[in-house]
Amino acid sequence: MNKLKVGVICYPSLGGSGVVATELGMKMAEKGHEMHYISSEKPFRLIDVHPNIHFHEVKIDGYAVFKYPPYDIALANRIAHVIQKEKLDLLHVHYAVPHAISAALAKDMAKSSIGVITTLHGTDVTVLGHDPALKYTVRYGIEKSEITTAVSESLRQDTFSLIEPDKEILTIYNFIDEDKYKPVDPGSLKKDLGIREEEKVIIHVSNFRAVKRVDDIIDSFKIIRETINAKLVLVGTGPEKIEMREKVKQEGLENEIIFTGKRDDLPELLAISDLMFLLSEKEAFGLVLLEGFACGVPAIATNIGGIPEVIEDGENGYLVELGDVRAAAEKAIGLLQDPVKHKMFRENALRTVHEKFDSTSIVNEYEELYYKVAGLN
Ligand code: GMT
């Protein structure tokens, strides 16, 4: 089969969509395809540079005449340039807004018939789809793409009910890099973080947006602490972090809750963890659950969005209703006090990754779509 030249457009900042776009690109590069990332900066996990991976920066100056610099148009301009210069076979854009719109515009600018695959990740539909200022834009982005995929069945259905596109949408689940996310030796990390050997560790990893409901996690942990000798490790950074630090202080939990900030040693942090918490109010998939599972960490998470497609209640974790911090605490206490059940959940979590979210099969699904839009199948 011919090797393809693919333009990839994604958000480079901290977030699951950037991670998926990067991991997918690396796997495709390993298969011999040429991957061209077009973005304002290098996606944050694009570190193991492969000779088949290229980066094209979108630069935009702050002209006094514009209140908002027109990034989406500058992106379209750059995509059009790369389509022509590199003779791309297709574009894979992550997020309908603005990326699918910029791709449609770029096609026009480049007078090209290049095929576009748009992958929906969640916020583009579940948040922007409610905004009358953007609903039609999301629909336009989807309808202008040759193929649209969603990262969960729940997101696929939400897209139809909120956006009503006249277009088929395929579900392709997210995956993680199993070579990186696996049970590892954490060395002295637990001690280095000031956690005693006998203490249980609950971990939460996010970008601290309001939708992550980190306050619910803190409230639930407070209940858990009444029964279990445990520490809560909060990994990541984002808009709510200062407020959450303040809350921890007010609750008198400064010695029990550790804020690590953004870390690159997630497999090691997961290796010292007994349980993951994800109590979000919106989550199209919950990639971090999969990262935890691959390292043998079961999870307690909200019964919303795509989470029930990852967590099998009572098998590899527990589902609780949004805001029910007491139920989350009770489930956590039960699991942390029962080593036999915990071991079973851990094994099931590892199995879930291999059976349902195997990276090789998922990358192959995307590759088949790549050939299809490039007209090579
Ligand atoms: O959840 C976030 O705040 C980040 C966001 C993103 O843009 O990366 O995550 C979305 O895409 C991820 C990868 O597909 C999913 O795992 C997350 O569930 C989804 N977030 C939401 O739906 C809120």
CATH code of the domain made up of 5-175+358-373: 3.40.50.2000
pLDDT at 42: 84
Amino acid at 292: G
Cis peptide before 69 (omega within 30 of 0): no
The CATH 3.40.50.2000 domain(s) of the chain lie at: 5-175+358-373, 189-356
Architecture of domain 189-356: 3-Layer(aba) Sandwich (3.40)
Mean pLDDT is lowest, of 12-26, 236-250, 348-362, for 12-26
pLDDT band at 43 (very low <50, low <70, confident <90, very high): confident
- Is residue 145 within 8 Å of 329, Cβ to Cβ? no
Nearest atom in ligand 1 to the alpha carbon of residue 16 is 8
pLDDT at 46: 72
**Does the Cβ of 129 fall within 6 Å of ligand 1?**
no
Nearest atom in ligand 1 to the alpha carbon of residue 122 is 22
What is the average per-residue pLDDT within 233-237?
97
DSSP 83-112: HHHHT-SEEEEESIIIIIHHHHHHHHHTT-
* For residue 48, pLDDT beyond 80: no
**Does the Cβ of 296 fall within 6 Å of ligand 1?**
no
pLDDT at 230: 98
Q: Cβ-count burial of 131 within 10 angstroms (0-12 exposed, 13-18 middle, 19+ buried)?
A: exposed
* For residue 248, pLDDT beyond 80: yes
Residue-wise pLDDT tens digits, 102-133: 999 999 999 999 999 999 998 777 766 677 77
What is the average per-residue pLDDT within 263-272?
97
* For residue 321, pLDDT beyond 80: yes
Enumerate residues 6+ apart whose C-beta is below 8 A from 18.
10, 11, 12, 43, 44, 45, 94
Collapsing DSSP to helix, strand or coil, 173 comes out as coil
Nearest CA to ligand 1 atom 21: 283
pLDDT band at 15 (very low <50, low <70, confident <90, very high): confident
Q: Which two tokens stand for residue 351?
A: 């199995």
Collapsing DSSP to helix, strand or coil, 193 comes out as coil
Nearest CA to ligand 1 atom 20: 283
Mean pLDDT of the chain: 94
pLDDT at 100: 96
- 149: CA distance to ligand 1 center in Å? 14
pLDDT at 246: 98
Cα 52 to its chain centre, rounded Å, is 23
pLDDT at 191: 98
pTM of the model: 0.95
- 333: CA distance to ligand 1 center in Å? 28
Cα 282 to its chain centre, rounded Å, is 12
* For residue 47, pLDDT beyond 90: no
